[in-house]
Structure 1
């Protein structure tokens, strides 16, 4: 808010990607700043990364690969934490652009799919994917063997997966987070992995970023962390550039910015922002 207040000429803030939580949306609304992002530019990129992380954890891929790198051949150790994904209950926190894409990609694995979202999906989609809807993450988490977080960071999701919610999950469940690090409690995740409450955690997001060398998520057991690359494939970067150019050209020529690109416009949440974010109450 201080930076926005100090920039009286600021009219437009663009995220060359998805996720506008790094812009203070309350301040943008108060100062009439339009906020836009390139919605959908990397949704599939992130969804593919989520599926990769789920399989990597459940099949114990990374430790097994390390055995090869180390010159070993201990099959018993490799498979001691390896399971089939088939038949597991998998749930997503939020079923928007990325969450729904994850659900569609997981359906062929013959898993039982769950989701929670502030807006329920159309009945036709629930039938198509045989989805079970839950009113909240707290309602859904105890039913799932795998939970993936695909929600934006806002007041309702910050700190959501803390000690209490993690404690309600099945012992030995897996948690995937490619959304924002602050949606989970850093130290609670570390403790849950060391105690066996969680069988694995794979995350692509950290706080702070870049993560310091001594960040506990670098050394906690049974993890598959990556350095925030899930949405930055070269394929996605081409879409970032095209979308950013489109937003700028629309702005500079006075054409309306596509509704799905808008987060804040005209002093209020708009477009995708109205569906994805909430403002702080004062």
Structure 2
């Protein structure tokens, strides 16, 4: 019976929210309330909501929203990253917090390689020229960078970074990596990776620099003017981590001056960028709207984890993917 199902607040259903098939998965277990409906009558819906499903930071678990949800039991966030959430504050309200690790890595690694290939071989520019009514010849400006046999420097060799390395091996790439903790000799041997304790060494030697590190306060501005100046002028920067890892002003200058060849970014700060942001108008900047995890199969896996975590929280059972404030056991 629908009346017996717990209530959950979601973004929307349809073009600007969950696909219909995903919404149906949710409706099997929850009475779902689209955010637009909630805003029209928060006094009615607010006391009923026990679960907040947050996908792509929407609805955002702000203090003002949480204050309207006195019965809230759990905030269930899609994806691995939780840097956009005030976990200590949410926890202080007696509300559980969950994420969806281990199901986004393959899709993100696939997409990272897609960005690398598209930027290196100027695929987007090629499509524009191929479709242009004014095209007569293929210009030499479409000459790209060879991927096979090149050097890839991976900053952040966690689960996603390692899967990127696995894919890069198929292109016979020389793989360097910089990580907080060195991986095992077996892991390194399996993908032919060389550890660079010094980040500067990786930056100087890499044809492609891939940012796939987990975001933390220490990683803000990790790649700035100095780091970009160390890279090869022919190098390409790819970021599937978080926008704040890169000093965007420094990146704009590097791309404009030719300090590096190009950048491919699935993440920016903010998201989306203001429509007049210079990065949007640079021909050597490829930008996608944070869609690294966007595949049909991955979306279903993410949602299933969100459902499992939320149902466990409501039933008072152990939560498979609970996120606790730093320092808590």
- The TM-score normalised by the length of structure 1 is 0.85
Name the structure 2 match of 1:239.
301
Q: 2:137 aligns with which of 47, 60, 74?
A: 74
Please name the residue that 1:21 is paired with: 83
CA contact 1:60–1:78 (8 Å) conserved in 2: no
Aligned to 2:150: 88
CA distance in 1, matches of 2:200, 2:136: 41
Give the SS at the match of 1:140.
helix
What 5-or-longer segments of structure 1 have no aligned partner? 271-282
The alpha-carbon deviation at position 185 of structure 1 amounts to 0.9
Q: Is the 8 A contact 1:67 1:74 kept in 2?
A: no
Measured against aligned partners, the alpha-carbon deviations of 1:10-66 in whole angstroms (never above 9, x if no partner) come to 653321222100012454566665432111222111111110111111112121221
2:317 maps to 255
Counterpart for residue 268 of structure 1: 327
Alpha carbons of 1:56 and 1:6: their partners in 2 closer, same or farther (altered >3 Å)?
closer
**Number of residue equivalences:** 266
Corresponding residue for residue 64 of structure 1: 126
C-alpha contact (below 8 Å) 2:125/2:142 kept by paired residues: no
CA contact (8 A) 2:120 2:147 kept: yes
Q: Does 1:3 align with 2:63?
A: yes
Q: Do structure 1's residue 118 and structure 2's residue 180 form an aligned pair? A: yes
SS at match of 1:132: strand
Instruction: Give CA deviations for 1:109-149 in whole Å, capped at 9, x if unaligned.
Output: 00100111112222111011111112253342122110111
What is the CA RMSD across the aligned residues, in angstroms?
2.4
Which position in structure 2 is the counterpart of 1:168? 230
Q: What CA distance in whole angstroms lies between the structure 1 residues aligned with 2:176 and 2:136?
A: 37
User: How much does 1:241 deviate?
Assistant: 1.1
**Given that residues 266 and 291 in structure 2 are in contact (C-alpha distance below 8 angstroms), is that contact kept between their aligned partners in structure 1?**
yes
Q: Could you tell me which residue of structure 1 aligns to residue 206 of structure 2? A: 144
Q: 1:193 is paired with a residue of what secondary structure? A: helix
The unaligned stretches of length 5 or more in structure 2 are 1-60
Between the two structures, name the one with larger relative contact order (CA 8 Å, sep ≥ 6). Answer: 1
Q: Are the aligned partners of 2:74 and 2:310 in contact in 1 as well (CA < 8 Å)?
A: no
Rg larger for: 2
Indicate conservation of the 8 Å contact 1:25/1:264, yes or no.
yes
